[in-house]
Structure 1
Amino acid sequence: MNRTMITATNTLAQLQKQMDIVSHNVANMDTAGYKRREANFTDLLFQQFNNQRNLNAEEVRLTPAGIRQGVGAKLAQSQIVLQQGALKATERPLDLAFTKEGQYFRVLEQTEDGAAMRYTRAGAFYLTPVSDNETMLVTGDGYPVLDENNNSIIINGQAKNFKVTETGSFLAEAANGAIQEFNLGVVLINKPQFLEQQGNNLLGLPDGAAGEGIFTELNGALRGQIGMAQGSLEQSNVDMSKEMTDLINLQRAYQFQSRSVSMADQMMGLINGIR
């Protein structure tokens, strides 16, 4: 296998990963709170041949000196784009949407290794009974929504009215007029590139990673930074026209690399056929 084949096959494998990312974005175009991902590429190792002995002759050169032969490209990073999505009014009191970028609800997911902290912008919440006189606020997949102290939000009695303030205070009014107030757990993501998709529109930290610097918990005086709307859901920030354009460019690049492999194979066949 010559260098042309090595370079093309390496790049083909990485283009397939980018195609998977674009396909995932398109598949979640109608998922509330979903944030699209973008792929960034970088060069693999390359060899440099310094064919110019007199470097003074290339003082005005803008590109690196010599001849560089690479072995393809690799997917350097798949980063979440935190751009705000459009809000869709639902008039449902338990539908919540952030109005500012980078803010996420804290939820608790039960995994094989135990409970794990997750983050989501999907604000379609529901109530599920935990006892005869208690209900708990959960996501559409049944994960408990946490308050600012990372405790589950459990409402005593039969609640009939709900109100959520712009700064994330959740108020439940019981049938007897008593009001229970909870501060929803909200974080501000500072470094989205460190988060991983955990499925079900949830984000989480990699195993063993510390959250210091990656996000800020908006508790206490910081709660004034929260922007939240009740009776609305945030739509995904996927732009179908952009995704389709990226997909077309990917297909062209994939065809180009495939053609390189075919041409290299034909050239080797011609060489082997020489007697």
Structure 2
Amino acid sequence: MENAQLITLSRQTALRNQLTVVANNMANLNTSGYKAQRLNFEEYLMPVAEATEFPTPDETLSYVHDYATTFNFSEGGIRTTDNPFDLAVEGDGFFAVQMEDGTEAFTRNGAFHLDVGGTLVTATGRPVLTEGGPISFTTEDGQVEIARDGTISSELGARGRIRLVDFEDKQSLLQLGENLYVGNEPLPIQPIRGVVQGALEEANVDGVVEMTRLIEITRAYESVTKMQSDMDELRKTAIQTLGTLQA
């Protein structure tokens, strides 16, 4: 395989991965607390590929390398809802939730509700953590209020405080799916000032920007594909011409 083909294949692979990222952003346009992702590229310089038939030691080829996916952790807009257990975070911070194995995961999606046992859980049924662990309510609690500092109160009095954490390096977080992240050494936020009850943070995805990127990626992929087709046609013509001359 010629070096030109290897380079265009590296570009096609990067474009395919970029398309996956953009499509995922578009799919989560209406997901509360979702953070847009970006695929980062770099130029990867290397000597002539071993597959070439005519190596040139002094030549360095430039490939495309998609080396990392990063998150845009800027805040999304705040949208009010009619659910008193919907929570949004203004500023830095992640809600802590309990996974099936007892470990913690973190999210900006505050679409919470009470399960059949009265436990405050995420949309997928995972317990939301307070500073004292999961919290449950009964009919005796009556109306539940959650203050800006995360303090949870009911007709029975103070019930606890929502646990919010942050990370020194948010880009080190690993995405689990379902808008959940895991990370090492979460830092408790003190004092808490940004909890908004009866509201949700919208995704920070700009639909117009993502659609523009989608068009650009599609056009770039078509251009690279045409280049490969032209090279194949050129090679085919060269082989036919050489075959005619030898005959």
Query: What TM-score do the two structures reach when normalised by structure 1?
Result: 0.79
Map of 1:18-97 to 2, 5 A cutoff? 18-47=18-47, 68-70=60-62, 72-97=63-88
Which residue in the other structure is 2:111 paired with?
Answer: 124
Aligned partner letter, 1:217:
P
1:140 equivalent to 2:123? Answer yes
Which residue in the other structure is 1:159 paired with?
Answer: 141
Asked if 1 retains the 8 angstrom alpha-carbon contact of 2:45 and 2:60, the reply is no
Which residue in the other structure is 2:4 paired with?
Answer: 4
1:106 equivalent to 2:74? Answer no
Q: Distance in 2 between matches of 1:19 and 1:190?
A: 29
Q: Distance in 2 between matches of 1:271 and 1:179?
A: 85
Q: Distance in 2 between matches of 1:196 and 1:263?
A: 41
Which residue in the other structure is 1:53 paired with?
Answer: none
Asked if 1 retains the 8 angstrom alpha-carbon contact of 2:97 and 2:104, the reply is yes
Aligned partner letter, 2:61:
Q
Q: Which moved more, 1:7-16 or 1:190-199?
A: 190-199
Q: Can you list the C-alpha shifts for 1:87-144, whole angstroms capped at 9, x where unaligned?
A: 11113211111111x311000121xxx23311111112111244xxxx2111111100
Shift of residue 157, structure 1, vs aligned partner: 5.4
Shift of residue 67, structure 1, vs aligned partner: 6.7
Q: 1:191 aligns with which of 156, 169, 185?
A: 169
Aligned partner letter, 1:146:
L
Which residue in the other structure is 2:53 paired with?
Answer: none
* Residue aligned with 2:33, SS: coil
Q: Can you list the C-alpha shifts for 1:230-254, whole angstroms capped at 9, x where unaligned?
A: 1111111110110011111111211
Q: Can you list the C-alpha shifts for 1:249-268, whole angstroms capped at 9, x where unaligned?
A: 11121112212211221221
1:242 equivalent to 2:209? Answer yes
Q: Can you list the C-alpha shifts for 1:170-202, whole angstroms capped at 9, x where unaligned?
A: 2232xxxx2132111111133222122212111
- Deviating above 6 A after TM superposition, structure 1's stretches of 4 or more consecutive aligned residues are none
Which residue in the other structure is 1:63 paired with?
Answer: none
Shift of residue 228, structure 1, vs aligned partner: 1.3
Q: Distance in 2 between matches of 1:45 and 1:83?
A: 33
Asked if 2 retains the 8 angstrom alpha-carbon contact of 1:4 and 1:260, the reply is no
Q: 1:260 aligns with which of 227, 233, 237?
A: 227
Shift of residue 270, structure 1, vs aligned partner: 2.1
Give the unaligned 5+ runs of structure 2.
Answer: 49-57
- Aligned-residue Cα RMSD (Å) equals 1.9
Q: Distance in 2 between matches of 1:28 and 1:216?
A: 27
Q: Distance in 1 between matches of 2:154 and 2:3?
A: 67
